[in-house]
Each structure stands twice: as C-alpha cells, then as structure tokens.
Amino acid sequence: MKKTIIQLTPIPPYDFALVAAYATYFQGRYAADHFQDRVYRRLLEIRGRLCLVKVRSIGSVDAPSLEMTLKCNVLSEKIVSEARIKVAHLLGTEQELEPFYRMVLKDPVLNPIVKNLRGLHIPQTLSLWEGLVLAILGQQVSSHVARIMRNGLVERYGLALKESGETYRIFPRPEALVEAGLEELYAIKLSKRKARYIFDIAAALASQERDLDSLRSLPDEEVVRKLMEIRGVGPWTAHWILIRGLGRPDAFPHGDLALRRTMGHLFNNESIFEPEEALNYSYRWSPFRSYVTTYLFAAIRSMAASEKVSPNVHI
C-alpha cells in the first residue's frame, strides 16, 4: 500500500468534528462512513481501485484545515486529485455558510439553535445512487430501523478492505445488488417494497438504461420532477436528495414528520405543523432552507445521541 498526505482548506467557519459526526448520525459508524477518535475514514473506489482516506482536523473552526491521508495500491496524480475532490464533496468543504447565518440573525427562534451548530456544513453522498438508496431506506421507518438497513446494505454488498484490524467498505455498486438478486435484499431487513424499488433502480443504472448524473445540471423543480418518475421516489425522497446528494441550498422536505414536529414545537406553540403549514412557514428562510432543515435535524440528532432519549419534543 502506498500512502500520501495532502491538505484541504474548507471555507470557514467549518467545524470538522460536527460535520463528520453529522455524516455518521452521531454514532461513530454509519453506512460507509466512520468517525472515531476524531478521525473520519471512508473507503473509496477510485479508477477501479480501493483507496482508504483518513481525515483529521489540523485547524480550527475559523481557520479550518484538514489533513487527508490517502492509502492505495497505486497512487497516480489522477487518483490523488480525484480523492481530494470526493472528500471535499463528502465533507461539504466548499459550502458558504455566512449568507445563511446572516439570514438567520433575523429569526430569534432559529438563531440560537444555529449558533450552537456553527460551522456545520452539509455532508454529501458520494453519488446520486447512494443518495437515492439511503433516502429510500429511510422512508417512513424510525431512524433506528433505517440505520439497521443502511448498515446492513453496506456490510453485505460493499467491497471491503481491512486495515489494522478494522474492515472498511465502499458503498455498494448497483451491479453488486443486481448480481445478488432481488430476494437477497430481504435478508437485510428490507420490505419487499423497498427491495423492489432499490433493485429496479440498481438494474436500470447497471444496464445504463438510466443516467442520474444528467440531473446535476437541472434546476431544483426539474430534478424533483425527474426523480419522482422513479418508482419509490416521492417528494420527501426527491428533496432529501436535493439536500444530501446535490448540495442544493433551498430544498425543503415539508412532509417530513420529524421536521413538522420540530417546527411545530418551535413556531406553533408545541403543536405539529401540517405539511402545507410547514411549507408556507418555510418560505421566509428561502433560499437557505436546506441549511435550516439540516440544522434542525442536527439539533434533534445530537440530542438523541447524547441524551439517549426519544427526541420528539426536545430542542
């Protein structure tokens, strides 16, 4: 294994520990992401080779700097530069938070919550395929059940590399699921419905019948429209992908139950918002609604992780 070290400079403010914790749902390991002992690790497939990246902070929130260690059988210049791009994407290092923070100053309820999470950028899925699968696995079920399915998928179908006693896995390729077959997906706790959705998407991608990357150049509404043509993708999933897969700043999954509850708690005298009410209320945060969504979820998630209680009514 060859090894090289390079440096990344995120746009400040950037709280590496918070971003990495969010990427792993404050659980240390989540799907293909690891964050333990202040080090973020992920196995990537770059130009057909398995490469392990480790990232740690060597700066501060206001003067951020990341040290990335890349281990790979072969280390060409192209591999190094692709790894850099992928990691910058995964960890959202290029996102600008200041305009969002200026907007939030005008919201006395949101402002303290956001201040408390200063430097949180939005982690991105490596591919739209990954975003689509993770989102579908998260539909309707509790976050706990979603985690079991997401981890199970990666453990079962992701190519692995062992390093100092730990096993790392890439997020499974569509081909891996197609090869395994539809029935195999039931074994990792997917409902027949979810297995069908994901298997069909995998098959369409593997056969090149569908191309998700063409969505990257389209405006938000077009992306949503195209994504919802896919069976298994509704409005919630499409907006989740805008936020976590495409890095769009102004998406808002207004049907989301946890979001409706949290917003109702904060802005509606404790009582849950109806989806339309949540949407109407959200326009005041445009064009930064993806950040509002992410910060509200981060507030819920970090409390759930630290307090070990159901976060339904907290914040």
Partner DNA sequence: GGCCAGGTTCGCT
Partner DNA sequence: AGCGAACATGGC
Q: Total number of residues binding DNA (CB under 7 A)?
A: 37
Least Å distance, CB 71 to DNA, is 30
Q: Examine residue 204 and tell whether it contacts DNA (CB under 7 A).
A: no
Q: Examine residue 312 and tell whether it contacts DNA (CB under 7 A).
A: yes
The 3 state secondary structure assigned to the chain is CEEEEEEECCCCCCCHHHHHHHHCCCCCEECCEEEECCEEEEEEEECCEEEEEEEEECCCCCCCCEEEEEEECCCCHHHHHHHHHHHHHHCCCCCCCHHHHHHHCCCCCHHHHHHHCCCCCCCCCCCHHHHHHHHHHCCCCCHHHHHHHHHHHHHHHCCEEEECCEEEECCCCHHHHHHHCCHHHHHHCCCHHHHHHHHHHHHHHHCCCCCCHHHHHCCHHHHHHHHCCCCCCCHHHHHHHHHHCCCCCCCCCCCCHHHHHHHHHHHCCCCCCCHHHHHHHHHHHCCCHHHHHHHHHHHHHHHHHHHCCCCCCCC
Stretch that binds DNA, among 45-53, 68-76, 125-133, 254-262 (CB under 7 A): 254-262
Q: Examine residue 189 and tell whether it contacts DNA (CB under 7 A).
A: yes
Least Å distance, CB 133 to DNA, is 13
Residue from 94, 186, 222, 286 that binds DNA (CB under 7 A)? 186
Task: Identify which of residues 33 and 52 has a Cβ nearer to DNA in the complex.
Answer: 33
The CA distance from 224 to 208, in Å, is 21
Q: Examine residue 199 and tell whether it contacts DNA (CB under 7 A).
A: no
Q: Examine residue 233 and tell whether it contacts DNA (CB under 7 A).
A: yes
Structure tokens at 221: 């509404």
Q: Examine residue 60 and tell whether it contacts DNA (CB under 7 A).
A: no
- Contact flags string 101-140 toward DNA, x per CB under 7 A: -------------------------------------xxx
Residue from 12, 13, 59, 234 that binds DNA (CB under 7 A)? 234
Task: Identify which of residues 3 and 193 has a Cβ nearer to DNA in the complex.
Answer: 193
Q: Examine residue 225 and tell whether it contacts DNA (CB under 7 A).
A: no
Q: Examine residue 258 and tell whether it contacts DNA (CB under 7 A).
A: yes
Q: Examine residue 141 and tell whether it contacts DNA (CB under 7 A).
A: yes
Q: Examine residue 282 and tell whether it contacts DNA (CB under 7 A).
A: no
Residues that bind DNA (CB under 7 A): 25, 138-146, 148, 186, 189, 191-193, 228, 230-238, 240, 253, 255-258, 293, 297, 301, 310, 312
